[in-house]
Chain A
């Protein structure tokens, strides 16, 4: 037993304990956060583009923006539900809400947001395809309230901000995990929304004006840059908090999380930054679509790493 001599006299060792719980919030919650970032991000980025450019510069934005958001939000809601151990009791959040919980506040806001996005998606779709279901009562009713789209859009944009950020508050309320600090996570959530929001819109921007596409490149480039800098700050300068440092040891020490984290940084941040910055001057559709795809993959991996490593640390 050579290894006995390597243990210092002052080092305490656990010699009997129960099994450790391991990952509690796993890939479903990662997917939940990733999909929500797309769902709100396309609205935030779309709103900025509509403020800066004419509608004619982005002909498919009016119907595809809410449609992408609708699909992403439904993925988010589906996996939120599937991750519950008692999914059918989800209704208790509405029947017995506890308002100090960011989960409750978030569920209410996300539900309202999804409802409004559904209305916008329906209006956008039936306005775009005027021949579809001409005699359908639902389609007729939706087309009759076409102006409602522009009416609720400012409110939807405002609501997109808290819907984007509330998951960061949930993570902050999870006070057992010090890596998830509210200010940093809130900013990261917003940046993530701008990252994947712009990435998603890049994929549908084939017929858009040069100006709108360049704006997308700017948004993607700047959001990945600032998000990357925040990750690097936390990665290299976490020594003030011993628990955070112990958590990041799962990445620092090599192994699966190290590979996953740096793959995420390269795919989601470094590659898109250089491509989007070069595309500001000379826009390349192919390269920008490639950057959009790597951003989407990279963000998922980054979120997954950051979600799982604090759960590896034994709390007691």
Chain B
């Protein structure tokens, strides 16, 4: 058995239902995402189009995160899922540096690396991943890619020539496929982030990776100088200070 995921980008309407379902199911904390839907616009008015790309862990067959993890916190399950054991993670962030898809985050509550597990706990109980259940247009297709009779295998066969993976040149052999994607949606070098062109906000950066007061020094100094009280406020994670684009009349 080799579980895989396929997203038909022709069907996705960017409702972010999958993103929310994932957050709720996995109790993903503030400033962290296991699954996110990115909006990309192309063209000049009035000939413009918007594409929506759900991005999550690719569960690579040759996973760089698994290779670099010094304590086997990241490991393969028999069904092909790249799982993570948070209780073993030392928080070195090597996996975050190794993942070519930026799919791993440092959980600010547990201070350990975390990522999409294809809802391994639900699969064990015979359920589908939360994002698959939430999708109103069935753009998320999940199943055993080694089983020729599975829906995902049928879908891949039916869309031969239009099935793509992200960054194939990395030789990670992802088990997450896209139908209807193009270079501009799947290649991060093919699209730009321009300040002032965001729909609801500017380009923002995380201030901290994980808990802002994670270090050993902080643990000694925090009781004396304070600093732990604000550790779950969103402002401490996201740098929202740059609002220049609003002044320029951005969206």
CA distance A107 to B69 in the complex (A): 12
A84-B102 in contact given A19-B205, A98-B69, A173-B64 (Cβ < 8 Å): no
Closest-CB distance, A36 to chain B (whole angstroms): 15
Q: Flag if A176 contacts B64 (CB, 8 Å).
A: yes
Q: Is A97 interfacial (CB 8 A cutoff)?
A: yes
Q: Flag if B184 contacts A315 (CB, 8 Å).
A: no
Closest-CB distance, B201 to chain A (whole angstroms): 8
Stretch with Cβ within 8 A of A (4 or more), from B90-98, B119-127, B135-143? B90-98
Q: Flag if A87 contacts B216 (CB, 8 Å).
A: yes
Q: Flag if B42 contacts A11 (CB, 8 Å).
A: yes
CA distance A113 to B87 in the complex (A): 29
Q: Flag if A13 contacts B106 (CB, 8 Å).
A: no
Q: Is A297 interfacial (CB 8 A cutoff)?
A: no
Q: Is A82 interfacial (CB 8 A cutoff)?
A: yes
Q: Flag if B100 contacts A92 (CB, 8 Å).
A: no
A315-B99 in contact given A81-B216, A86-B111, A98-B69 (Cβ < 8 Å): yes
Closest to A89 in B: B90
Closest-CB distance, B108 to chain A (whole angstroms): 9
Within 8 A of B (CB), among A230-248: 242-243, 246
Partner of B102 from the list A21, A93, A174 (CB cut-off 8 Å) is A21
Q: Flag if A176 contacts B102 (CB, 8 Å).
A: yes
One digit per residue, 1 when the CB lies within 8 angstroms of any chain A CB and 0 when it does not, for chain B 229-240 equals 000000001110
In the complex, what residues of A have CB within 8 A of residue B71's CB? 89, 92-93, 96-98, 104
Within 8 A of A (CB), among B140-192: 166, 170, 172, 184-185, 188-192
Q: Is A155 interfacial (CB 8 A cutoff)?
A: no
In the complex, what residues of A have CB within 8 A of residue B128's CB? none
In the complex, what residues of A have CB within 8 A of residue B216's CB? 81-82, 87
Partner of A101 from the list B94, B189, B194, B251 (CB cut-off 8 Å) is B94
Q: Flag if B40 contacts A13 (CB, 8 Å).
A: yes
Q: Flag if A13 contacts B98 (CB, 8 Å).
A: no
A18-B33 in contact given A85-B211, A173-B64, A173-B68 (Cβ < 8 Å): yes
Partner of B112 from the list A4, A18, A86 (CB cut-off 8 Å) is A86
Partner of B214 from the list A15, A23, A85, A103 (CB cut-off 8 Å) is A85
Within 8 A of B (CB), among A60-110: 81-87, 89-90, 92-93, 96-98, 100-104, 107
In the complex, what residues of A have CB within 8 A of residue B42's CB? 9-13
CA distance A24 to B31 in the complex (A): 14
Partner of A21 from the list B44, B69, B91, B206 (CB cut-off 8 Å) is B206
Q: Flag if A86 contacts B91 (CB, 8 Å).
A: yes
Q: Is B2 interfacial (CB 8 A cutoff)?
A: no
Closest-CB distance, A45 to chain B (whole angstroms): 30
Q: Flag if A174 contacts B94 (CB, 8 Å).
A: yes
Closest to A314 in B: B188
In the complex, what residues of A have CB within 8 A of residue B189's CB? 242-243, 246
Q: Is A286 interfacial (CB 8 A cutoff)?
A: no
Q: Flag if A176 contacts B97 (CB, 8 Å).
A: yes
Q: Is A131 interfacial (CB 8 A cutoff)?
A: no
Q: Flag if B210 contacts A175 (CB, 8 Å).
A: no
Partner of A176 from the list B88, B98, B203 (CB cut-off 8 Å) is B98
Q: Is A214 interfacial (CB 8 A cutoff)?
A: no
One digit per residue, 1 when the CB lies within 8 angstroms of any chain A CB and 0 when it does not, for chain B 79-94 equals 0000000001111111
Q: Flag if A12 contacts B166 (CB, 8 Å).
A: no
Residue numbers of A with Cβ under 8 A of B are 1, 3-4, 7-25, 81-87, 89-90, 92-93, 96-98, 100-104, 107, 170, 173-177, 242-243, 246, 311, 313-316
Which 6 pairs, one residue from A and one from B, show the smallest C-beta to C-beta distance?
A85-B91, A315-B102, A12-B191, A16-B39, A174-B97, A103-B70
Known: A92-B71, A311-B97, A315-B188. 5 other contacts (CB 8 A): A20-B205, A21-B102, A87-B91, A98-B69, A174-B94
18 contacts between A and B (CB under 8 A): A4-B45, A8-B44, A12-B192, A15-B40, A15-B197, A16-B200, A83-B215, A85-B91, A86-B90, A87-B215, A89-B71, A92-B90, A93-B70, A100-B67, A101-B94, A170-B68, A246-B189, A315-B99
